Structure 1
Amino acid sequence: MLSLFRAHEAAVVSWFSVLVFGAVLFVPIAVLAGRLDDSPRMRWAVRAGAAAGVVQAIGLLRWPLLVPSLAERAAHAGESSSATAEFELWNRILGSPLGETCGYALTAAWTVLVATALPRNGFPRSFTALGVAAAVLILTGVAAPWRVLAGQQLNFLGYVLWSGWMLALAGFAIRRSLLILAAVTPSRPTCADAEGIWQVACPRYQPSRASRVNSTVAERNSPAESIGIT
């Protein structure tokens, strides 16, 4: 494994760095999703989502941080060196138990909590059904170390559904935010609302000829001019 990693080190490190960034991004996503509802369930969802991002990031970081030096040592001392044993040890600690098992479980928990908390805020029931289905399939990844039949395929399908569910969550959240913004933003007067505000609201608006005549007549007949006050 280490020799294969060394042969493609740049690509592997780059891709795992992208995965680490995606895992870390899960933390602010969980926090922002928590603002869509103020129930205790959603508060637990924030904790589960933040924890999911942290444990997955820690598990993935072993590839760009630890494995390159281990591969370098193995290349000089041979695959039977202590570097191979250390690599397998870190995989047993940070790989399956932490990054995968805990990551899958916490991601599934966050998804179920969010999917079941939001319908009372106008989210459709289909959103809940899709989220719960994706969470159940993602949770099958917990059994991956025991090589359960079709476990990896079901886990992959779960993440495909989860990606669609996340896009739906983003779409519903944006739509809800726009509706709230429209409800709290006062309407601005337009040019058709009143002639008296045309200079402020509509700089390019040209008053009608009748309006200009009336304004001129009003100025000439004002009390100030009739008594000589300028």
Structure 2
Amino acid sequence: MVNSMNKPVLHRDDPALVPLTGNVKVTRQDWLNAALDVLVNNGASQVKILTLADRMGVSRSSFYWYFKSRADLLDALLDHWQSRNTDALIRQSALPATTITAAVCNVFHCVLDARLFDARLDFAIRDWSRRSDKVRRVLDHSDRRRVDALAAMFARFGFPDAVVRARVLYYMQTGYDDATLAESLEERIAQVPAYLYVFTGQHPQPGEVEALAAYARAASDDE
């Protein structure tokens, strides 16, 4: 849609509200994307309205078309993180699988595909939680949801120690990512069968690791 000046009309999130015209050049998602970039690279303390406006070359007044305040933007960042990362891990753990090793491979998609699960954002949230009790509570709740989902995955396959295995898988992977080991993709893939055995006590079935490897290589090519 264009206006009488043949300029794009930007709509507010609520379609019942008046379209944005004039000097408004960015959308709500633009503000959120800029804030996410600052959060990941510089920390939550640097997520400031004026800083974001300068980065995008717009007036900070346009910020208030989409957010009530800086606190509202910070809440939106937390919501985005939960829908991006926490919900993705929960979905992957609930996918149909014929074996527990195949189910864990589904979860490994989160580790291998940044489009599915943003590890850098996860660590930015964890860093933020060290300075915010509110964020700490949100993070703790998210961690519980993730572990519960993994425990449910193990329980589907009859593991009596499902919660313990879920914790081992989840917190080992969190620490593994934090270590930022200098491993190539092929090195990581080569270790998958052993990791699957450690996590599940079972060896992967033929084709499971190969399918995961194919997914990982395709995700790497798309980055």
TM-score range, shorter chain: under 0.3
Provide TM-score, normalisation by structure 1. 0.26
- More helix, by proportion: 1
Q: Which has the larger radius of gyration?
A: 1
